[in-house]
Chains A and B, each alone.
Chain A
Amino acid sequence: MMLSTIISMAAAGADGVAASPIVALAYLVAGVLFILALRGLSSPASSRRGNRMGMAGMAIAVATTLYTHDVVSLPEIVGAIAIGGVIGFVIARRIAMTDMPQLVAAFHSLVGLAAVLVGAAAYLNPGAFGILDALTGEIHNASRIEMGLGVAIGAITFSGSVIAFLKLNGNMSGKPIMLPARHVINLGTLAAILGLIAYFVTDQSPWVFWTVTALSFIIGFLLIIPIGGADMPVVVSMLNSYSGWAAAAMGFTLGNTAMIVTGALVGSSGAILSYIMCKAMNRSFISVIAGGFGAESGPSGGGAAAVDRPYKRGSAEDAAFLMKQADSVIIVPGYGMAVSQAQHALREMGDLLKKEGVSVKYAIHPVAGRMPGHMNVLLAEANVPYDEVFELEDINSEFGQADVAFVIGANDVTNPAAKTDKTSPIYGMPILDVANAKSVLFVKRSMGGAGYAGVDNEVFYMDNTMMLLADAKKMVEEIVKGLAH
């Protein structure tokens, strides 16, 4: 009720672009609701309430905008919202949880494209956005820079996300694609974009605006193609951040608090996630962005000589027997679990073990999977209670007391070379100390094909390791059968 009062007051008090304090207040309320939406995610218990607040914030922002403008095309706008809304809703309902990284990349590309379109509309009809100088009849200088930056970041977000989507969705090889002299090309293009945006202040002719837009589309594409599949968590987070900065730049153009606050929130959120991901791989942000990681196979120090080393191979029955006897089992899932959709079978295995009185916990490395928190969502989908799922720093000391570490579809994040071998490309990366468990069960498709980093893993050849070579889902289903009788 209070809400409708605010909005109707806003409608009465303003014409044209947000001028009345009540209108500004409504956008501020929307901004605060968005902050609370993120705040809610501090625990699963409060998260759904947070999400509802986000929806309310969006409803206020949209309603306020429509009420305060002389809307000449309401039916068309409602139609556009309805079309987009139905498409979005259907996709959200149908998407498989394993495809979440692709979906997020696709959504990012839409934010980027919307930013470009809004920027172009503002350039074509500056009067509507209130960015015309009353004296000269030209666009304000500050607005030109904000618009230029907004369009550039939006275009980079769009084309970068499209490439990320194609790589994550498997339409394009996950291997890095290396152009010759790419650093020179990229830096040159970036410099050209910034130079043109600066020049835009003195000359607002169309060719400047459209060249900035075109170059930005190209650079987004060039920036992402040399980056390999397993670095996608960083890329997706980074594009998340960009989509925020694009919204913020447009917020500056419109002088809109809700857009600025949201842009800043999303921008910092993506930046922090990129930082966490880089730290979890012990790599600098620059080295990830420069790309090419995992392009060369068999690095010098990683033990490329280890072709025919002896290892122990086990069957599903052996694994079932071993885990039945154990007091505690820690499960370490990785991208391989997502690929083979093994999460449901895994939860069944966990349930059967718990029935036998075994303590079951899950250990998640921050970069397991293809996006931040990917494994947690899949386990949640399979009904694994979230209080059985632990982050690296909370569980790593427990491997020493665990009877069995069950590694499924993870490799590099368990590799002790990260601690011992200074020449290894993954040296310094924090790992899950599975080798400290009394025995290790390692589910892997085959002995060939090391992890993403192309490094052999010592854990395979330890005396207390049993390799379970099969498709992850099939192997776990076999183990479940073994446990059932």
Chain B
Amino acid sequence: MDFISILSIFVLACFVGYYVVWSVTPALHTPLMAVTNAISSVIIVGALVASAEAGSAAAKYLGLLAVVFASVNIFGGFAVTERMLAMYKKKERK
């Protein structure tokens, strides 16, 4: 992909992010941080590329280490968000 298309995607995504995040209710700001944490670990894609390709042993092991860290975050982040969200309950109507 050429630089301008990538930049366009980035700029538009910033706007989407702006509007989506303002619509998040303040009560869920902590889960918001936990889930953004989990999804920013999509950087695991880069780590997988580094560990999957031949060419440099050093790059491979750096990549594998990054895969471990990113996985802690992905599993930990989504699991802790799930745990928090499960606690938010409405008043029981009797």
Q: Judging by beta carbons under 8 Å apart, are A92 and B16 in contact?
A: no
* Least distance between A138 CB and chain B CB atoms (Å): 16
* Least distance between B29 CB and chain A CB atoms (Å): 3
The stretch of A219-227, A267-275, A285-293 that contacts the partner chain? A267-275
Query: A38-B20, A121-B59, A250-B43 given as contacts; is B80 within 8 A of A103 (CB)?
Result: yes
Can you list 25 A-B contacts with CB-CB less than 8 angstroms, sorted by A residue number? A44-B90, A51-B82, A55-B78, A57-B42, A73-B64, A81-B71, A84-B74, A88-B71, A97-B87, A100-B30, A117-B66, A117-B69, A118-B43, A122-B50, A128-B49, A236-B33, A250-B43, A254-B46, A260-B10, A262-B42, A266-B36, A269-B36, A364-B27, A373-B30, A385-B90
Indicate whether A212 reaches chain B with its CB closer than 8 angstroms.
no
Which chain B positions have C-beta within 8 A of A387?
Answer: 90-91
Q: Judging by beta carbons under 8 Å apart, are B17 and A264 in contact?
A: yes
Which chain A positions have C-beta within 8 A of B41?
Answer: 58, 110-111, 114
Q: Judging by beta carbons under 8 Å apart, are A87 and B42 in contact?
A: no
Q: Judging by beta carbons under 8 Å apart, are B37 and A246 in contact?
A: no
The residue from A30, A71, A89 contacting B75, defined by CB atoms under 8 A apart: A89
A113 closest partner in B (C-beta): B69
Indicate whether A485 reaches chain B with its CB closer than 8 angstroms.
no
Q: Which of B44-68 contact A (CB under 8 A)?
A: 44-56, 58-60, 62-68
* Least distance between A106 CB and chain B CB atoms (Å): 9
Measured CA separation A92–B34 after assembly (Å) = 10
Q: Judging by beta carbons under 8 Å apart, are B9 and A110 in contact?
A: no
Measured CA separation A142–B16 after assembly (Å) = 25
The stretch of A172-180, A374-382, A439-447 that contacts the partner chain? A374-382
Q: Which of B16-31 contact A (CB under 8 A)?
A: 16-18, 20-31
* Least distance between A161 CB and chain B CB atoms (Å): 10
Which chain B positions have C-beta within 8 A of A88?
Answer: 71-77, 79
Q: Summarize B's interface: helix, strand, loop or mixed.
A: helix
Q: Judging by beta carbons under 8 Å apart, are B16 and A265 in contact?
A: yes
Known: A114-B73, A118-B50. 5 other contacts (CB 8 A): A54-B38, A76-B64, A84-B67, A88-B74, A269-B17
* Least distance between B2 CB and chain A CB atoms (Å): 9
Indicate whether A307 reaches chain B with its CB closer than 8 angstroms.
no
Per CB-CB distance, the 3 closest pairs between chain A and chain B, nearest first, are A84-B71, A88-B76, A373-B29
Q: Judging by beta carbons under 8 Å apart, are A92 and B83 in contact?
A: yes
Q: Judging by beta carbons under 8 Å apart, are A373 and B31 in contact?
A: yes
Indicate whether A229 reaches chain B with its CB closer than 8 angstroms.
no
- Digit string of A415-437 for contact with B (CB within 8 Å is 1, else 0)? 00000000000000000000000
Q: Judging by beta carbons under 8 Å apart, are B65 and A117 in contact?
A: yes
Indicate whether A42 reaches chain B with its CB closer than 8 angstroms.
yes
Q: Judging by beta carbons under 8 Å apart, are B43 and A37 in contact?
A: no
Number of A interface residues at 8 Å Cβ cutoff, please give it: 119
Indicate whether A47 reaches chain B with its CB closer than 8 angstroms.
yes
Q: Judging by beta carbons under 8 Å apart, are B62 and A120 in contact?
A: yes
Q: Judging by beta carbons under 8 Å apart, are A92 and B51 in contact?
A: no
B3 closest partner in A (C-beta): A142
Q: Judging by beta carbons under 8 Å apart, are B40 and A243 in contact?
A: yes
Q: Judging by beta carbons under 8 Å apart, are B45 and A38 in contact?
A: no
* Least distance between B41 CB and chain A CB atoms (Å): 6
Q: Judging by beta carbons under 8 Å apart, are A114 and B44 in contact?
A: yes
The residue from A58, A100, A269, A386 contacting B90, defined by CB atoms under 8 A apart: A386
Q: Judging by beta carbons under 8 Å apart, are A269 and B62 in contact?
A: no
Which chain B positions have C-beta within 8 A of A411?
Answer: none
Q: Judging by beta carbons under 8 Å apart, are A372 and B30 in contact?
A: yes
Measured CA separation A121–B18 after assembly (Å) = 32
Indicate whether A188 reaches chain B with its CB closer than 8 angstroms.
no
The stretch of A60-68, A452-460, A473-481 that contacts the partner chain? A60-68
Q: Judging by beta carbons under 8 Å apart, are B83 and A125 in contact?
A: no
Measured CA separation A276–B85 after assembly (Å) = 22
Which chain B positions have C-beta within 8 A of A388?
Answer: 91
Q: Judging by beta carbons under 8 Å apart, are B36 and A77 in contact?
A: no
The residue from A93, A252, A272 contacting B22, defined by CB atoms under 8 A apart: A272
B84 closest partner in A (C-beta): A377
Measured CA separation A309–B22 after assembly (Å) = 44
Query: A31-B13, A55-B78, A121-B62 given as contacts; is B26 within 8 A of A372 (CB)?
Result: yes
- Digit string of A236-261 for contact with B (CB within 8 Å is 1, else 0)? 11001001101110111111111111
Query: A41-B35, A48-B85 given as contacts; is B73 within 8 A of A124 (CB)?
Result: no
Q: Judging by beta carbons under 8 Å apart, are B39 and A377 in contact?
A: no
Q: Judging by beta carbons under 8 Å apart, are B32 and A273 in contact?
A: yes
Q: Judging by beta carbons under 8 Å apart, are A41 and B31 in contact?
A: yes
